[in-house]
Amino acid sequence: MKIVIAGLVLLAATAALAQSPGPLSQALSDDVALREAAANGSPDAMLELGLREDRGQNRPRDPAAAFTWYMQAAQAGLAEAQLNVGIMLDAGIGTERDPYRAVIWYTRAALRGNARAQFNLGLLHDTGVGTPENHVMGTYWFNSAKSDVPATVDRLTPPGPKIFGDRLMAPVPIYENVTSTSAEVIWRSEPQPEGSYYLLQIYASASGSEPAFHLVKSIRTQASGALVTLPGVQDPMIWRISVVDDALHDYAASEWRGVPLGRQPPRGAATLSATRRTTQSADFINLLQSDLKVAGISIDGERTLTAIPGQSRVIFRYRDDRTLAMDVAGLLTSDAAGATTYSADSDLAPGQVGIELVIDPERKPGAD
């Protein structure tokens, strides 16, 4: 079925908006068994109950009841139900029309690989319904759906205009669900400069009073959301989403999200590398790491030096990180400006600097 809303043709799965009945309808043939299964937490049973209300199977059609069941299944993570919630919010069927929320539910289903949600999401981005008009993002989602949804051919042939932005604008988070084992984050974005991409950075904050953070996951994407697995982190997690332009050595980041009450977000992050390790240098490095933590700068691990600099230095890749680099260099030497170096070909991330220590066994590391 196709539904026309404000000139858009949205894909629905059946005349009643939803998926065709699956094996569950044979296994659980009556509402009593379905409701019992739903009460025990079965998303498939919730979806099937929604379908029956939506189709009017042995009852009058009840879109509002269908929406309630779809929402329960969607909240449990079922992509088919998330698609149906998105369609009903988009069309105003069974609930008040809300394209903004429809974008969120389409995106949740799209991140789980639902092609119809990817297509409908592409339409909303392409036309600016419920989200900023962003043809590049629309094309991304159309391309994601094209192998399963023939209608994408009409949207991609001939290719539509790719209207890029002329400056970086920080993405705006609109949905987040971050647990110890997974992170689902969705954002809205104005058109960005050609060649830019989005970077989701997730850090864990150590419990207690120590102002320490450590990197958990960093995800690069062209999409308007990310769904990632996390390694069972027990500490509270914070995250932010940036848009990055490596050609311009620039980025624009959202505020940190999830910062525990009474804590400050990290000022930045640093990687550490050294030419050699001695007892004296180990003591200096431990002291430096302690100073960085007090300054609110996380330690993102060690890097291998590909070339040995003439003196200890702090490198940075993005223009906005120069101040951070100078502050870190100030922990090594009184000549912070002289010990700060721009490094365009480094693999540093936004908000991250690299500390390169030249260890002289005859001289204290970092001494002037």
Residue 21: its pLDDT value, please? Answer: 53
Answer yes or no: is pLDDT of 16 > 50: no
pLDDT tens for each residue of 311-356: 889 999 999 999 999 999 998 888 888 899 999 888 899 999 999 9
Could you give the percent of the chain with pLDDT greater than 70? Answer: 85
Cα angle value 218/221/227 (rounded, 5°): 70
Q: Which of 213, 217, 299 is nearest to 259 (CA)?
A: 213
pTM of the predicted structure, to 2 decimals: 0.87
Check: CB of residue 239 under 8 Å from CB of residue 201. yes
Residue 174 has pLDDT above 60, yes or no: yes
* Range among 52-61, 117-126, 291-300, 306-315 rated most confident: 117-126
Predicted confidence at residue 286, as pLDDT, reads 85
pLDDT band at 102 (very low <50, low <70, confident <90, very high): very high
Residue 6 pLDDT grade (very low, low, confident, very high; cuts 50, 70, 90): very low
Q: Poorest-confidence range of 138-142, 219-223, 245-249, 344-348? A: 344-348
The answer to whether the beta carbons of residues 108 and 186 sit under 8 Å apart is yes
Q: Would you state the pLDDT for residue 336?
A: 85
**Residue 206: band (very low, low, confident or very high) from pLDDT cuts 50, 70, 90:** confident
Any residues with CB less than 8 A from the CB of 209 and at least 6 apart, and which? none
Lowest-confidence segment of 112-116, 130-134, 280-284 by average pLDDT: 280-284
Note the pLDDT of residue 4: 43
Looking at 72-76, 108-112, 150-154, which range is the least confident one?
150-154
* pLDDT for 97: 98
Q: Binning pLDDT at 50, 70 and 90, where does residue 251 land?
A: very high
305 has pLDDT over 80? no
Residue 211 predicted with pLDDT over 70: no
pLDDT score of 13: 46
Output the pLDDT for position 367: 47
59: confidence class by pLDDT, cuts 50, 70, 90: confident
User: Among candidates 100, 106, 31, which has minimal Cα distance to 62?
Assistant: 31
CA distance 244 to 322: 16
Give residue 262's pLDDT: 82
Instruction: Give residue 274's pLDDT band: very low, low, confident or very high (50, 70, 90).
Output: confident
Long-range contacts of 359-364 (CB under 8 A, 24+ apart): 359/274, 359/275, 359/276, 359/277, 359/278, 359/281, 361/276, 361/278, 361/280, 364/280, 364/284
